[in-house]
């Protein structure tokens, strides 16, 4: 079997392992990628990330729901844990490597949606600074300034905690108007995001996944050029 055939087979294994949330299958394929000396970044982007792209579609079509998504995430991370330490800087080249500060705002402990979005950003090659849940509002500002991240993603599940997002947007824009701020969570609408002065909005987990997938898509396009 030639190298390209091995590559195709392993990419398929990684992809399907993620879609079918089969952690063992993903781990085995990831180890084989290392063993065969294949391009690790290629395996991540065109194997694992492509699998998550499919998962996002299945979620959008209501074939998959949150439990399935969480299982797929476990399979994805099982692969990433093995492959990520072996990604070489030269593989990344000039590809965009954005940074995201993400968290669920103060008073809100719902973080499943936030964790899913975080995962999608990670898959897309972003460096993610996850502040967790119930995050004091000033912490978002401090972390953005510390890391100089281009994107700040805020999540809230309740109408009460949602109002905290408005304050964060104001505080960040005051210090650094060039930061792109993305809002998401059950009570948030596009109108709310506009009203709060945010730059981006995710209607639902599915929509946010789609947004992140677009980013992956763009990244892969650039990589494949």
Partner 1 sequence: MAKMSLRDRFWNRFTGKDTDMTPVGCTTTYGVIALMKKCGHERPAADTDPVAMTELALAGPSYAGFEWVKAMGWDITALSDAMGCTLGTPKIDLQYFIKAHPYAESIDGLEFPKDFLQRGRFPAYKEHFRLLKEKVGDTMIIFGESEGAFTCAANLVGTEQFMKWCMKEPQKVEKVLEVTKEAAVAAANFAFDNGADYYVFAEPTSGPALLSPRIYKKFVLPVEKEIFKRVKGPVVLHICANTDPIIELMCETGAAGISIEEKADMKRAVEIAHQSGVKVFGNVSTAVTIFQGKPDAVYEESRQALNNGTDFLCPGCGIAPNSPLENLLQLKKARDDHFNA
What does the binding site for partner 1 look like in residue numbers (CB under 8 A)?
A: 21, 62, 64-68, 70-71, 74, 107-112, 115, 134, 158-163, 186-187, 189, 191-192, 195, 204-205
Provide, rounded to whole angstroms, the least separation between the CB of residue 208 and partner 1: 13
Q: Sign of dihedral through CA atoms 194, 185, 216, 84?
A: positive
Q: Where are the beta strands (DSSP E) in 84-191?
A: 99-104, 127-130, 151-155, 180-184
Provide, rounded to whole angstroms, the least separation between the CB of residue 111 and partner 1: 8
> Among residues 125 and 164, whose Cβ is nearest to partner 1?
164
> Among residues 26 and 40, whose Cβ is nearest to partner 1?
26
Ramachandran bin of 151, using left for φ above 0, alpha for ψ from -120 to 50, beta for the remaining angles:
beta
DSSP one-letter code for 184? E
DSSP one-letter code for 62? T
> Among residues 74 and 138, whose Cβ is nearest to partner 1?
74
Contacts for 104 with CB less than 8 Å, ≥ 6 apart: 110, 111, 114, 132, 133, 134, 135, 154, 155, 156, 157, 161
Provide, rounded to whole angstroms, the least separation between the CB of residue 119 and partner 1: 12
Provide, rounded to whole angstroms, the least separation between the CB of residue 30 and partner 1: 21
> Among residues 67 and 85, whose Cβ is nearest to partner 1?
67
> Among residues 125 and 184, whose Cβ is nearest to partner 1?
184
Provide, rounded to whole angstroms, the least separation between the CB of residue 104 and partner 1: 12
Q: CB burial class (10 A; 0-12, 13-18, 19+) of residue 177?
A: exposed
């Amino acid at each position: 079997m030639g190298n390209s055939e091995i590559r195709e087979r392993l990419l398929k294994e990684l992809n399907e392992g993620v879609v079918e949330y089969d952690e063992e299958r993903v781990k085995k394929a990831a180890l084989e990628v290392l063993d065969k000396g294949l391009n690790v970044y290629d395996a991540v982007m065109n194997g694992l990330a492509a699998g998550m792209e499919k998962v996002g579609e299945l979620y959008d079509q209501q074939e998959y729901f949150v439990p399935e998504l969480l299982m797929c995430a476990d399979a994805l991370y099982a692969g990433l844990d093995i492959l990520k330490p072996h990604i070489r800087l030269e593989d990344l080249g000039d590809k965009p490597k954005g940074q995201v500060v993400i968290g669920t705002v103060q008073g809100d402990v719902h973080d499943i949606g936030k964790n899913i979005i975080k995962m999608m950003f990670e898959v897309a090659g972003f460096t993610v600074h996850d502040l967790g849940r119930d995050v004091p509002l000033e912490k978002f500002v401090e972390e953005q300034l510390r890391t100089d991240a281009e994107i700040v993603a805020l999540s809230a599940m309740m109408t009460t905690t949602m109002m905290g997002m408005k304050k964060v947007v104001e505080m960040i824009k005051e210090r650094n108007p060039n930061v792109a701020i993305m809002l998401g969570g059950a009570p948030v609408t596009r109108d709310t995001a506009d009203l709060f002065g945010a730059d981006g909005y995710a209607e639902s987990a599915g929509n946010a996944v789609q947004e992140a997938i677009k980013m992956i898509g763009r990244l892969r396009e650039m990589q494949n050029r």
